[in-house]
Amino acid sequence: MTAQTAAAGTAAMPGVTTASTRSARRTFGVDVGGSGIKGGLVDLDTGELVGERTRIDTPQPATPHAVADVVATLVANFDWDGPVGITLPCVIKGGTARTAANVDPGWIGTDATALFGGVLAGRKITVVNDADAAGMAENCYGAGKDVDGVVVLLTFGTGIGSAVIQDGVLLPNTEFGHLEVDGKEAEHRAAASVKEEKDLSWKEWAPHVSLVLRRLEDLLWPDLFIVGGGVSRKADKWIPLLDNRTPVVAATLRNTAGIVGAALAVDTGVAP
C-alpha cells in the first residue's frame, strides 16, 4: 500500500530540523483521541520517544478543522519539518475518514490526508486508524514482537478497538468492538466503560471479556491476544481470570502506542 502524501518542498528555516540534521530513523507521530491530542518524536530503531510527548486537549466539538489546527500547533512546538503520521478514531480508507468515534460526525467523508496536508504543508502525511496504529507498534516493539501467526490487539476503553496483524502485516480497519456477542455488541458487553458504569469487580467483568475473546477465537483462531487500554495497567487483576484458549498478554507500550504506531505508519508507507 502506498502512503498518501501532502505536497512537498519548503525551504529550510533557522531553528527547524532539516533532512540533513534529522536521523533517518526518526519521525513524528500524533495520536488524536476524544479528550486529548498527543504527539512526539519517535526513534524508529527502538520504538521509544525522543524527549517528552506533548498533549493538548481535544477541541470541543472535535471538528476536522479544529483538530487539524491543534495538530499543526503541536507539530510546530517541536520545530519538526519531516514526515508526520496521525491516528484518528475513525475507519480510514484511501486517506478518507469513513466513521467517527468520540469525534465530531463531520469527520465522516473528510479527506483527512488532504486536510492535514493543508496545515502541515511540505511534509509527508499518513493517516491511520488509532487501534491499527497501536497494533502495529505492539507488533514491532512491544508484546507482539517476534510472534508468528495471527495477533489480535484489543483496546478496552469507552469502546473496544481492534487490530489484526498476521506475520507483521496489518489487516486494516477491523471493528470487532461492534461484533455481536450473545445478543450484544462486544463493546456494550465488555468495554472498560461497562465495568465502570456497572461497578463490576474484576471477577465479575472477566467473564464478559472471556465471552468476547472466545467469539473471536471461533472466527479467527489467533495465536495471541494483546490487551490494551487503561485496564491493561492492572492486567494481573483480570487476565488470570480469563478462560479462553488463546494466550492473552498485556500491551507494553501503553499510552505511547498510538504515537509510535503513527510514526511507524508514515515511515513504512502503510496507509489503508
Q: Within a domain: residue 3?
A: no
State the total domains in the chain.
Answer: 2
State the CATH number of the domain containing residue 232.
3.30.420.40
Residue 103 pLDDT exceeds 70 = yes
Worst-scoring range by mean pLDDT, 72-76, 101-105, 184-188? Answer: 101-105
Residue range of the domain that includes 228: 145-252
Query: Same structural domain for residues 49 and 118?
Result: yes
Query: Same structural domain for residues 158 and 92?
Result: no
Query: Same structural domain for residues 219 and 263?
Result: no
Residue 272 pLDDT exceeds 60 = yes
Query: Same structural domain for residues 173 and 112?
Result: no
Query: Same structural domain for residues 196 and 158?
Result: yes
Q: Within a domain: residue 261?
A: yes
What global pTM score does this model have? 0.88
- Predicted confidence at residue 22, as pLDDT, reads 44
Provide the pLDDT confidence category of residue 254 given band limits of 50, 70 and 90: confident
Residue 69 pLDDT exceeds 80 = yes
Query: Same structural domain for residues 118 and 186?
Result: no
Residue 3 pLDDT exceeds 70 = no
Percent of the chain with pLDDT over 90: 85
Q: Within a domain: residue 105?
A: yes
Q: Within a domain: residue 140?
A: no
- Predicted confidence at residue 24, as pLDDT, reads 58
Q: Within a domain: residue 110?
A: yes
Q: Within a domain: residue 237?
A: yes
Query: Same structural domain for residues 188 and 175?
Result: yes
Q: What is the residue-averaged pLDDT of the chain?
A: 90
Other CB atoms within 10 A of residue 126 CB: 34
Which residues are bridge partners to 32 per DSSP? Answer: 37
